[in-house]
Structure 1
């Protein structure tokens, strides 16, 4: 992707500097195609973004209870819980047997990040686990990834649109070289007339 963008930028710069109509036309076609492709992928992603949380929730609920999944899935859940200090996808009840990765240390208990729950077996004592569940944290990073992708797509689409407009204007100017070029001028604010105090206190000589 980076190499393609660099080649197109060099092509556009060459066409503008050398006033090469062929290079500018090729650049224009590439910009139009690039703009259409970017919008083709960006619009579905933008439409899908509000629905992604519900889709992910339905997918993750298929893995419950977590104890009954494959060893790789349980290891992944343990690693997520250790990294983000959370317990379960939606609740600690996602585990039949609460793993060690859910348990808090004394410092985290003092910070108020934990809750005390009892095991399902009455013979076992209660334990302190993380209050935060893992699904909101996972969704935060998933939506962040969606936002980054959307930002990249729309930024490239806008740049391609600007390239289309500029190259079209240059091609039009080269096609009709005798037409006067419209120049935008800034009105002059400064005046060369003498200050008002000179007009008042410096009378004209007799």
Structure 2
């Protein structure tokens, strides 16, 4: 006969997995938001900032699938399925914890890499269509100019004296001239705008990755408790 404790764990685990399935969708959404927000500027970024988001999306999909495994194992009171569920949760826990830590570490070390990437790309503005498109895109979308300011374009000597890319001027269209003296020139540099965006998204990755990872610990404990209860019941 089933014990009350075993029945309680069974239904708690079942409810937990329904919530867990929803959390899988939340993980996918968080990863998607980060990719959508910074992915369009990946020309200037090391792949490290996008990799955690991709891993998080994959982990979210796996979490969603695993949640149904846990539900089935709990309802059927299958010892092997419950242990498999606990093991899968442990693996996902480690992956998400690693993603959170990686995002935290990279948040503090990406600055120099990004600034160097911006500087290198700026020097190729007139030589590479990809660099030109990337710079015009980031300057128009983030309403910024240069790395730290518009003076970076002048100091780099990329264009003629006092001439800036058209995207440095507010409301300018391609093939129109944008001069440093123009009142419509964006005053903020693109480096700080990109840095702020990356840091905000890193916080999302850290919060979701680590937050949900620790919730999974409860699922591992519940699954193991129910598995042990099922084993003891079967030995009677």
Q: What's the TM-score, normalizing by structure 2?
A: 0.58
Q: Which residue of 2 aligns with 1:152?
A: 208
**1:16-27 equivalence runs, <5 A:** 16-27=74-85
Q: Which residue of 1 aligns with 2:164?
A: 98
Q: Which residue of 2 aligns with 1:57?
A: 115
CA distance in 2 between counterparts of 1:44 and 1:79 reads: 28
Aligned with 1:89: secondary structure?
A: coil
Q: How much does 1:174 deviate?
A: 2.8
Deviations 1:142-167 (A, max 9, x none): 22332233233224422332211111
Of residues 220, 223, 226, the one that matches 1:164 is: 220
CA distance in 2 between counterparts of 1:95 and 1:70 reads: 16
Q: CA RMSD in A?
A: 2.6
CA distance in 1 between counterparts of 2:126 and 2:75 reads: 66
Structure number with larger C-alpha Rg: 1
Deviations 1:121-150 (A, max 9, x none): xxxxx4222211211111222223322332
Is 1:127 the equivalent of 2:193?
Answer: no
Contact 2:99–2:205 (Cα < 8 Å) also in 1:
no
Structure 1: which 5+ residue stretches go unaligned?
A: 106-117, 120-125, 178-206
Of residues 86, 111, 116, the one that matches 1:28 is: 86
Deviations 1:63-101 (A, max 9, x none): 344645423212221222222222112121222321332
Contact 2:122–2:131 (Cα < 8 Å) also in 1:
no
Structure with more relative contact order (C-alpha pairs < 8 Å, separation 6 or more):
2
**Alignment CA distance shift 1:75-1:6 (3 Å):** closer
Structure 2: which 5+ residue stretches go unaligned?
A: 1-57, 155-162, 172-178
